[in-house]
A and B are shown apart, each in its own frame.
Chain A
C-alpha cells in the first residue's frame, strides 16, 4: 500500500519535497566539509599530473639531455618532504614536525609558501603548520600525518591555512553591529559563521592584502555568549575553519582589549608559547594533589588528560 501511495504522481512530488527538506542538514553538512591536503609521493611509480621528469625522475623517467655528450649519472636519492600551500600575504609560516618547530618561512605577497625538509628518517610523522597575521594573531594549527619513505621525495600540496579571526567588542549591545575581521588569502571568499541557537552564515571578500572585515548585525542573536569562526574559499580550495572567537550579546558595548600574540590558554610559564616546557610543567602535576590553579586548565581540581587536551589545542610548538 505504501508503495502504491509513493508511486502516485502528486505524492512523488510531495515525497521529493520532503526528501529535499530532510536531506537539507546533509547538504549543509557537505557544504561545511573541508578540502583535503593532498600528499603526492615521488617514488611511488606513478607519474601524476603534478610531477614531471625534472621534479620526479623516479616516477616520470629521466629528462632527455639538452645537448652534448656524456653519460647521465643520476644523483643518490634523498629523503625529502616538500610542503606548499597558502597562508596570508608576507606572513610567517611555522612548520612543526611531531609537534616541535622544525622550520619557518615567509609567504609571498600572493600568500603562497613553500618549505622543504630533508634528512628525515623513514617513518610516520605528524606535521602541523600555522601562520601569524599582520596583527600577530596566530591561526589554528593545521595538522596532517605523512608517511615518509627513505630515498623518496614526498610533496604535500594544497595546504590552506585557516583565516585568522577576531572581533572588536567583547560585549555588544543587542541590535548593534560587531566587527568580525581577520586575514586570509588576497581576494579569498570568506564565510563567517556565528553560532547561536540558529547558525548564521555570512560571506565577504578579502582585499588585496587578504584582510577581511564584516559588520555583523546582532539583532537576530539571543542574549548571552556566542562564538564566531570563519573559513576561506579560493578557486577550488577551501580552508579549514579558524579558531572560534567568543563575544557576549548584552545590554552595553564593551571594546575588546588589544589582542596579544599570547595563546588564550595553556601557556603555563607565560612565555607566549605553548610547547614542551608547558607540557612538562603539566606532566609534573599530573595526578598530584592540589595543583596550582594556573595549571588546572579546566578548574576541576586535578590535572588529568582533559587539561592536556586543552593544551594540545592551543599548541604553538
Chain B
C-alpha cells in the first residue's frame, strides 16, 4: 500500500471534499431553473398533416408564479390553425397567446400562489404542415419568476421542437377535441379606481375553460330588464376585454358578461344594477299601469253598458 506524505493526504482530502461539495452544490442548485419545453419534442409529418404541439413548464422544485415568452414557427412550412389555452396552469393572462407578426405567438400570465410541477400545461397550438422541409419551433425571450414576493427572475432553460415534413411520411388522423362544456362559472365585478379610465366605473371579469379555452368575452348593458325591450330593440353585445369601461356610469343597468369558448359554448354571468331604476323610471312599470287602467276602464265600460241595458229594459 502506498503511503502518502501527510501534506499530500491533506491535499487529497480537501480535493475529494471539494469534489463532493461541488457535486452536492450541483444537485441542489441545478433545481433553480424553470424549463420550458414542447411535447412532442420532435415530429415527422406528411404534407397537410394537422398536429398538436403543447408548451409545458417544469418548475424544477421551485414555485413559479409568472412567465412570459414567444413561440416562433416557420410560416413557410407550417400553418397555424388554432391556439388552445383550456386547462392551462395560467390563471390570468396578461397577454393571451395569439399569433402576431412574423409568425410569433406572444404570451404572458400569472399563477397566483405559484405553481410547482413537472408538466404544467401553458397552451397548445394546432399546426398544419404545408411544404416539405426541416424546421424548428422555437421559444424566445422566455422569462419565469419565483413566487417570492420580490419578482426574482428564475433561470430559464428552453427546449425547442425540431420537425421534418416529407411526402414519404404517411399521414395520420388528427383527433379533434370534443368540447361540449361551457366555460367555468364566474363573477364579474364593477370597480372604480382613480388611476384607471380617469376614475370612471369599469368592469372586471375572468374565467377558465377546461376544454379548448376561452375565445372571447361579450358584454351587454341593459337599463330595462325583461323581454319587452327585446321586442323593440336587438341586443347589442359588445366584444370586450377586462378591464371594460362601462357605458352606463350611473350604474342603473343590468350587466351581462358572456364567456364564449373556442367550441362556441357559452356561459353568461349577470350583475344586477348598483342603482336600480326608480319605479317611475322603468317604462315597463308604466306599460303595466296603462294596461291596468285600460282593463279597469273596459270592465267599467262593460258594467256600465250592461247596467244601462238592464235599466233600459226595466224602463220598457
The answer to whether A and B come from one shared complex is yes
- Measured CB to CB, the residues of A under 8 A from B are 1-2, 4-5, 7-8, 11, 14-15, 18-19, 21-23, 25-26, 29, 96, 98-100, 121-124, 126, 128, 141-143, 145, 243-244, 265, 268-269, 276-277, 279-281, 283-286, 292, 294-295, 297-298, 305-315, 317
Interface core residue of B149, B184, B189 (most chain A CB under 10 Å): B149
Given contacts A123-B210, A145-B115, A284-B196, contact A305 B66 (CB under 8 A): yes
B2→A5 contact, CB < 8 A:
yes
Place the interface of chain B in its size category: 35 or more
Q: How far, in whole Å, are A225 and B214 apart by their CA atoms in the complex?
A: 45
**14 A-B pairs, CB-CB below 8 angstroms?**
A1-B2, A8-B1, A19-B17, A22-B20, A122-B181, A128-B112, A128-B113, A279-B110, A281-B195, A284-B197, A286-B94, A310-B151, A312-B114, A313-B149
Which residue of chain A is the closest to B210 with respect to CB atoms? A123
**B108 close to chain A: CB less than 8 A:** yes
Residues of B within 8 A of A292 (CB): 195
B208→A98 contact, CB < 8 A:
yes
* Contacting residue for B94 out of A7, A123, A283, A310, CB 8 A: A283
**B111 close to chain A: CB less than 8 A:** yes
Q: How far, in whole Å, are A2 and B8 apart by their CA atoms in the complex?
A: 11
B210→A121 contact, CB < 8 A:
yes
* Contacting residue for B113 out of A99, A265, A268, CB 8 A: A99
Interface core residue of B21, B112, B186, B196 (most chain A CB under 10 Å): B112
A281→B196 contact, CB < 8 A:
yes
A277→B204 contact, CB < 8 A:
yes
Given contacts A276-B189, A309-B65, contact A124 B1 (CB under 8 A): no
B242→A280 contact, CB < 8 A:
yes
* Contacting residue for A141 out of B68, B112, B208, CB 8 A: B112
B13→A18 contact, CB < 8 A:
yes
Q: How far, in whole Å, are A100 and B91 apart by their CA atoms in the complex?
A: 9
* Contacting residue for A308 out of B89, B110, B195, B210, CB 8 A: B110
A277→B191 contact, CB < 8 A:
yes
List 15 additional A-B contacts (Cβ < 8 Å) besides A18-B17, A128-B113, A286-B94: A5-B2, A8-B1, A14-B9, A22-B24, A25-B28, A98-B91, A121-B184, A122-B181, A126-B115, A128-B112, A145-B115, A292-B195, A305-B108, A308-B94, A313-B149
Give the distance to chain A from B12, nearest Cβ to Cβ, in Å.
6
* Contacting residue for B187 out of A100, A284, A311, CB 8 A: A100
Residues of B within 8 A of A19 (CB): 17, 20
Give the distance to chain B from A26, nearest Cβ to Cβ, in Å.
5
